[in-house]
Structure formats: C-alpha cells, structure tokens
C-alpha cells in the first residue's frame, strides 16, 4: 500500500497514540503473509489492551474504510485472508 493514506483527513478522528501504535504494527507486518501477520496482530492486540490503546468501534471502522480505499486488490485479498484466519466465521474483526 502506498503511503498516501497517511494524508486521509479521517485519521484525525483517531487518537494519535493509537494511530502511532497501529503504524508500528503495520511496519512489522509489511511484506508478511497473512499467516505470518496473525501472531504479530494478536500480540499487538493484547499489548494495546494493556496500554489502553484499543480502537473504538468508530476508529476501527475508519481504519477499515482507509484500508479498503487505498489498498490494491492484492492487498485487500491479504487482509481478507488474515481476517478469515482470525475469525473463520466472519470477514470482519
């Protein structure tokens, strides 16, 4: 995914600490397969809870919208695969 999504005005609605945390996780996942990303994301999820950096429903919706809007079809497929590994009965987090 190109970095143009970082300029999306919707990001202003997400707490800066949460956004910084998500960007760090995204960098760790860069170039990884969905299978390789899942443990990184699961660890990050636990850490975000410990740090009080969990996304609200609105913030998660903003991030999903941005991912869908700025990703290539191949990147969207990777995200879909990762979500299916996370929750086989649903394609949403």
Q: How far is CA 9 from CA 16, 74, 78, in A?
A: 13, 24, 25
Q: How far is CA 61 from CA 32, 36, 76, in A?
A: 23, 24, 15
What are the structure tokens assigned to 85, written together? Answer: 């590994």
What's the pLDDT at 93? 40
- Measure the N-to-C terminal CA separation of the chain; round to a whole number of Å: 20
Give tens-digit pLDDT for 69-92. Answer: 888 888 888 777 777 766 544 434
**Model pTM?**
0.69
Give tens-digit pLDDT for 26-68. Answer: 889 888 887 888 899 889 989 999 999 998 999 988 888 888 7
Give tens-digit pLDDT for 26-37. Answer: 889 888 887 888
């Amino acid at each position: 995914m190109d970095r143009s999504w970082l300029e999306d005005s919707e990001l202003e609605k997400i707490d800066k600490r949460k956004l910084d945390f998500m960007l760090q996780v995204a960098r760790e996942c860069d170039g990884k397969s969905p299978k390789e990303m899942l443990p990184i994301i699961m660890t990050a999820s636990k850490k975000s809870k410990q740090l009080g950096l969990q996304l609200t429903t609105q913030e998660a919706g903003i991030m999903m919208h941005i991912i869908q809007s700025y990703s290539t079809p191949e990147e969207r497929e990777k995200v879909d695969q990762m979500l299916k590994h996370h929750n086989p009965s649903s394609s949403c987090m």
